[in-house]
Amino acid sequence: MTTKPVFDVEAVRKDFPILNREVQGKPLVYLDNAATSQKPQSVIDKLVSYYSEINANVHRGVHTLSQEATDEYEGARSKVRKLINAKEEAEIIFTRGTTEGINLVAQTLGVQRVGEGDEVIISNMEHHSNVVPWQVLCDQIGAHLRVVPINDDGELLMDEYEKLLSPRTKLVSIVHLSNALGTINPVKDIVAIAHQHDVPVLLDGAQSAPHLPVDVQDLDCDFYAFSGHKLYGPTGIGILYGKRELLESMSVYQTGGEQIKSVTFEKTIYNDLPYKFEAGTPNIAGAIGLGAAVDYINTIGLDRAEAYESELLQYGTEQLQTIEGLKLIGTAQHKSGVLSFLLEGIHPHDIGTVLDTQGIAIRTGHHCTQPLMQRFQIPATARASLAFYNTKAEIDALVEGIHKTFEVFS
């Protein structure tokens, strides 16, 4: 008697055409999902059908194509709202990605709330996208960046976080799931503690949205930013969720068509949410493709994907730990699909180059987290990052590739 597998990864892999290709004569082993994930056929088909059947500009047209494009575009917004359980579509703003979402908040709410001598709290494990916009804001205003330290496992020091909060704190912006370490931060606690001080919190969800079920109302975060391309959707599209009352209180970011109600040379009245923050013709195909990615994820079930990925992570961690001369960077108790490592005596770039000859795609470098690398006093790591279409056999291929790397450099 055969038992049905809980998560049928072989069936899932068939949905991703790129996984059939070869690299350097070997089957592709794609372990660079934290940089960008692969796209299922349904997302690719959606982009093709949008451009071949309904391409038109949204919101402005009375003709059929424009209405169909608008329905699809707004339908995608609605799918994203459900995915993260926001209260209403007005709280879902289409952006270019996580980076733009964070910049938007920094240059609107940030400029309004943060004054000279005030403080913005981030952490030592932030992506540059969640460092530089705040640094720029602080420089503009004469405010200061405060950084929550981490321990050697790559976990936030929550006591230190609490100590950093003061009447000078005006904003907190923290990553939910670290791209370089895989640490899942206790963001619900982080939000609750900040709210005791009346401080709003932005969560960088670039890595969590594709890997964890997210409920923004349960987290009670004020903002949540993520990118479509890491969520099995197209590049150039992302989401900024914000609570309505905050979004309404915020000044505009970019200005122009679509985000206005009326314009005279004397005065402009801005549009309602979410259009107030969507100036210009949006990335219509990207948004519709993101909607298709959300549909796809719903067929998989993020909770099932999370359980499978965490099994894979455990297997990968155990396998890598058996390799002499390999050191894992990022050993938090609460982790998701990232295996960052160093090999004794070999530069991470060389690891990546040898693995590529084996058809294995990993990322090497600082992963846009230079302050984190400084914390660990290393220039870079080699990072294998997982998705639900990866397999134990691919982890075995990685392990074999690492042994091969040692051989090449011995």
Q: Which residues are catalytic?
A: 368
CA distance 228 to 98: 9
Please give the Cα distance from 245 to 400 (Å, whole number): 53
Which residues are CB-contacts of 387 (< 8 A; sequence separation ≥ 6)?
30, 33, 37, 38, 210, 309, 337
x-or-dash pattern for ligand PLP, window 80-109, by CB under 6 A?
Answer: -----------------xxx----------
58: DSSP letter? S
Among 179, 358, 385, 405, binds ligand PLP (CB under 6 A): 179
Give one DSSP letter per residue of 327-339, joined into a string.
EEE---SSB-SEE
If binding is defined by CB under 6 A, does position 33 make contact with ligand PLP?
A: no
Nearer to ligand PLP, 73 or 226 (CB): 226
Q: Which one, 124 or 227, has the nearer CB to ligand PLP?
A: 227
Residue number with CB closer to ligand PLP (81 or 127): 127
175 near ligand PLP, rule: CB under 6 A: yes
Total residues interacting with ligand PLP, rule: CB under 6 A: 13
Give the nearer residue to ligand PLP in terms of CB position, either 98 or 340: 98
Taking the complex as a whole, the smallest distance from the CB of residue 27 to ligand PLP amounts, in Å, to 26
- Of the candidates 204, 222, 309, 394, which one interacts with ligand PLP according to CB under 6 A? 204
* Binding positions for ligand PLP, 324-383, rule CB under 6 A: none
Amino acid sitting at position 39: K
- Give the list of residues 6+ apart from residue 318 with CB closer than 8 angstroms, or none: none
Residue 320 CA neighbour count, 13 Å, CB half: 25
Choice from 127, 243, 335, 363 touching ligand PLP (CB under 6 A): 127
User: Could you tell me the two tokens for 62?
Assistant: 């009375």
**Residue located via tokens 């391409």:** 55
With beta carbons less than 8 A apart as the criterion, state whether 145 and 393 touch. no
Applying CB under 6 A, which part among 72-80, 132-140, 200-208, 314-322 lies near ligand PLP? Answer: 200-208
* 3-state class (DSSP) for residue 134: helix
For ligand PLP, the binding residues (CB under 6 A) are: 34, 97-99, 127, 129-130, 175, 179, 204, 206-207, 227
